[in-house]
């Protein structure tokens, strides 16, 4: 039984770590990838919590599409949070 406890504990830690990383990271691209990781952790959690439909949706929308839209927006605007130092435009 503690196998379930172990996985949920691990996933929750990953979730919170990724959230903190996403908030504190200055480079927006890495922050967005961290958001993707949050969605991934959420998908895992939903699976463990016996909600397969929702896990599939979270995987498809949260990980794939939301991340890609964020990345496209960053491509079209600015990559770093404080634009002063590096305005790296591809």
Partner 1 sequence: MDTAELIRLGVYGTSILLILIGLYAVLTKKSLIKIIIGLSIIDGGIHLLLIGIGYVKGGTAPIFSPGSEDAVARMVDPVPQALVLTAIVIGFGVTAVALSLIIRLYRHHNTLNIDEIKNLKW
Partner 2 sequence: MKKAIVIFFLAVFGYFMAITFLSPEFEADRNRNGVKDFYLEKTVSDLKTANTVTAIVVNFRGFDTLGEVTVLFLAATALGSILFKKRHHIGERTVLYPASTIVGSGAKLIFPAIILLGAYVFIHGHLTPGGGFQGGTIIATGFLLMLISYRNFSISHNILSVIESLAGILFVVFGFMGLIYGGSFLENFMGTGILNDLFSGGVIPVIYILVGFKVAAELTGLIYTILHEKG
Contact set with partner 1 (CB under 8 A)? 1-2, 4-5, 8-9, 12, 15-16, 19-20, 22-23, 28, 31-32, 35, 38-39, 42, 45-46, 49-54, 57-58, 61-62, 65-66, 69-70, 72-74, 76-78, 81-83
Give the interface size with partner 2 as a residue count (CB under 8 A): 19
Nearest distance from C-beta of residue 61 to partner 2, angstroms: 5
Residue 55 binds partner 2 (CB under 8 A): yes
Residue 16 binds partner 2 (CB under 8 A): no
**Long-range Cβ contacts of 27-32 (<8 Å, 24+ apart):** 27/79, 27/80, 27/81, 28/70, 28/74, 28/78, 28/79, 28/80, 28/81, 29/71, 29/74, 29/79, 32/67, 32/70, 32/71, 32/74
Q: Residue 76 or residue 82: which is nearer to partner 2 going by CB?
A: 76
| Rounded-to-integer distance, Cα 42 and Cα 12, Å | 9
């Amino acid at each position: 039984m503690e196998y379930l406890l172990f996985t949920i504990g691990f996933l929750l830690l990953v979730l919170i770590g990724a959230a903190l990383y996403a908030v504190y990271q200055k480079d927006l691209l890495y922050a967005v990838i961290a958001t993707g990781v949050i969605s991934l952790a959420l998908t895992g959690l939903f699976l463990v919590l016996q909600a397969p439909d929702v896990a599939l949706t979270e995987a498809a929308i949260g990980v794939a599409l939301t991340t890609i839209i964020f990345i496209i927006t960053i491509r079209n605007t600015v990559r770093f949070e404080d634009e002063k130092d590096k305005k790296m435009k591809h």
